[in-house]
Amino acid sequence: MSRYRFLAFLSLDPSGQGEPDRLYPCGSHDLMIWCCRLDEPAVRKLFSASIYRDDELPLHPGDAGVLATLEVLDDEATSFLGPGQRITLWNGRECGHGVVSRRVFTAWAR
């Protein structure tokens, strides 16, 4: 499988009343990406992803407009993710959203 990286602006929904704030450490696989296919919007897919904030802090509920790198290990990633693509963040339920800024083509390792 191929590895793809994308820059995106992410926002997490605030915690619901009585719910504890859940932190998502940098590089965590706790959040997944749900989106539609770029050329066929009726087709949707859930992707496992590693999400890295540029400041390396954890993501937490209520974060808004956070710049992050999404790392996806899936050969279909470029059919679903691209500049301007809106995404939903998923942790067993919808917990946030974002928009892809661009694909990252540089050599990058964590």
Q: Quick check: 109 pLDDT over 60? A: no
Does 57 map to a domain? yes
Does 109 map to a domain? no
What's residue 49's pLDDT?
A: 96
Residue 98 belongs to a domain with what CATH number? Answer: 2.40.30.10
Instruction: Give me the number of domains the chain comprises.
Output: 1
pTM above 0.85, yes or no: yes
Mean pLDDT over 44-67 rounds to 94
Residue with the bigger pLDDT between 106 and 68: it is 68
The answer to whether 28 and 14 have CB atoms below 8 angstroms apart is no
Does 92 map to a domain? yes
What's residue 54's pLDDT?
A: 86
Q: How many helices (H) and strands (E) does the chain have?
A: 1, 6
Does 36 map to a domain? yes
What's the chain's length in residues? Answer: 110
Does 28 map to a domain? yes
Does 58 map to a domain? yes
Mean pLDDT over 85-98 rounds to 95
Distance between start and end Cα atoms, the chain: 18
Counting Cα atoms < 13 Å in the Cβ hemisphere of 49 gives 30
Helix (H) or strand (E) holding 80: helix 77-80
What's residue 107's pLDDT?
A: 60
Give the structural domain span for 14: 3-104
